[in-house]
Amino acid sequence: MSVGSCTLEIPADHPAFAGHFPGHPIVPGVVLVDAAARAIAAALGLGEPCWQIGSVKFVRPVSPGETLRLSWKAPAASGAIAFSIDTAGQPVASGTLTPRAPVGRDSA
């Protein structure tokens, strides 16, 4: 089993903030999941896999500039990676991701 953690940085000038939501920006859930997947893939040496999302639960909005902590557990048998994200000890999101081989593109 592989266990790890790291800090996630979502830049305050991330383009998703412009429309999510004007006057009261919050980090979109897809940005959180993407940041988590990229960090886990880099830490585990997975390259750039496609991901199957088993489940994701968002429990608290995240504002620009918040320091986020990502933790994960990757059991060898199932292939699913359980992750959680928190800020200042408060849970933000959790779920499971399973890396999959990238789908080939038809060149025709």
| Active site residue ranges | 20
User: Cβ–Cβ contacts within 10 Å for residue 93, how many?
Assistant: 21
The secondary element (H helix, E strand) that includes residue 2 is: strand 2-8
